[in-house]
Amino acid sequence: MEFLTTPIQSTILVVLTSAYFLVASVSTYDIRIIQAIKDGQNLKQLPNWISIFHWLLWLIWISIFILNWYYGLILFGIKFILKVIPVLEIVGSFLLIPFDPNNKKKHK
* Residue 65 identity: F
Q: How confident is the model at residue 30 (pLDDT cuts 50, 70, 90)?
A: very high
Residues 6+ apart with CB under 8 A from 6: 12, 13, 67, 68
pTM value > 0.85: yes
Q: How confident is the model at residue 1 (pLDDT cuts 50, 70, 90)?
A: low
- pLDDT tens-digit map of 62-107: 999 999 999 999 999 999 999 999 999 999 999 999 998 888 664 3
Residues 6+ apart with CB under 8 A from 57: 20, 23, 24, 27
- pLDDT tens-digit map of 40-53: 999 999 999 999 99
